[in-house]
Homo-oligomer: A and B are copies of this chain.
Amino acid sequence: MQRLNVVGGAGNNDGSVSPYSIAAIALLDRKFKSLGVDVQDLNLLAPIAKDGGRVAAGADIIRAGDKPRHSTLLLEGVACLYKRLADGTRQIYAFKYPGDFCDLLPEPDDAVAVQAVSECSLAAFDHNEIEQVIARSNTLRLALWRSTMLDTFIFRERIASPPAAMPRVAHLLCEQLARREAIGMKSTVLPFTQIDLADAAGLSVVHVNRTVQALRKLNVLSSANSAIEVVDKKQLASIGRFDGHYLNMPRLMSHWTLSVVH
């Protein structure tokens, strides 16, 4: 059911500014700026970033029931937060992109885990250490709070997305496209299997397949290969009734500077 082949993962802690440390800071900087927060103390995180290793597609990054003592930041690849339901079904709650924390907090629900959708590389931050940094930085705290809020908005939209298969899948794909664009991923080829889409949309694989084919016939998805490649973003957004402005909270909530000292 679950291949558990971690590709790499030795932590290092020699205090030098390592490549993954630089990558982590850059990713977080962009993400927080997109939330309308310029975190000045971000460099405080550099010395405490550790190598989180690489994880092969399909493997768990955080296993169900894990209570890790570090937070995991996704550097490369795509992951998904999912819950294994009682009947064995996998319900995907959310996809994670570079710059997202896989587990800022330990997951309270023992059936919830994080899995690599494509091969992932990671950075790790010890809980005690990151907590001290957070305690010292008003802006970092605000940024993390806002990112929690953004998650809430994304979930809300997912609830509202129509029960019909076509708009539902379209909406899901639009969200992914929008989030990828926000972090500079220009490719419209999405690394999901139809099984992934089914588990995320809450539809059967068979029906997702038919829906994908219908979208291909409409020239919304590419018929060239068997991958999920979006060719007509406009129409996809229209089918999914996707607004997307809910992802742009930069200046929308910027007048709300809770906990930032002026």
User: Contact at B159–A253, with CB atoms within 8 Å?
Assistant: no
Q: How far is the CA of A256 from the CA of B261 in the complex (A)?
A: 23
A252-B108, A258-B134 given as contacts; is B93 within 8 A of A156 (CB)? yes
Q: How many residues of A contact B (CB 8 A)?
A: 41
Binds B, one of A5-13, A26-34, A141-149, A229-237: A141-149
User: Contact at B134–A259, with CB atoms within 8 Å?
Assistant: yes
A153-178 interface code vs B (CB 8 A; 1 in, 0 out): 10110111001000000000000000
A108-B253, A109-B246, A135-B258 given as contacts; is B160 within 8 A of A93 (CB)? yes
User: Contact at B163–A202, with CB atoms within 8 Å?
Assistant: yes
Q: Which residues of chain B have C-beta atoms less than 8 A from A127's C-beta? A: 256
User: Contact at B141–A259, with CB atoms within 8 Å?
Assistant: yes
Choose among B155, B159, B241, B256 the residue that contacts A202 (Cβ–Cβ < 8 A).
Answer: B159
Q: How far is the CA of A105 from the CA of B150 in the complex (A)?
A: 12
Choose among B108, B155, B241 the residue that contacts A246 (Cβ–Cβ < 8 A).
Answer: B108
Q: How far is the CA of A187 from the CA of B108 in the complex (A)?
A: 28
User: Contact at A159–B159, with CB atoms within 8 Å?
Assistant: yes
User: Contact at B131–A245, with CB atoms within 8 Å?
Assistant: no
Copies of this chain, whole number? 2
Q: How far is the CA of A202 from the CA of B155 in the complex (A)?
A: 15
User: Contact at B159–A256, with CB atoms within 8 Å?
Assistant: no
User: Contact at A156–B155, with CB atoms within 8 Å?
Assistant: yes
Does any Cβ of B come within 8 Å of A85's Cβ? yes
Q: Which residues of chain B have C-beta atoms less than 8 A from A145's C-beta? A: 145, 148
Closest beta carbon of chain B to A262's beta carbon, Å: 8
Q: Which residues of chain B have C-beta atoms less than 8 A from A257's C-beta? A: 131
Listed in ascending order, the chain A residues whose CB lies under 8 Å from chain B are: 83, 85-86, 91, 93, 105-106, 108-109, 127, 131, 134-135, 141, 144-145, 148-149, 151-153, 155-156, 158-160, 163, 202, 241, 243, 245-246, 249, 252-253, 256-261
A-B contact pairs, 27 of them (CB 8 A): A85-B241, A91-B160, A93-B160, A105-B149, A105-B256, A106-B253, A106-B256, A108-B245, A108-B253, A109-B246, A127-B256, A131-B257, A131-B258, A135-B260, A141-B258, A141-B259, A148-B148, A148-B149, A148-B152, A152-B152, A155-B155, A155-B158, A155-B159, A158-B159, A159-B202, A163-B163, A163-B202
The 4 closest A-B pairs by CB, nearest first: A155-B155, A108-B252, A91-B160, A148-B148
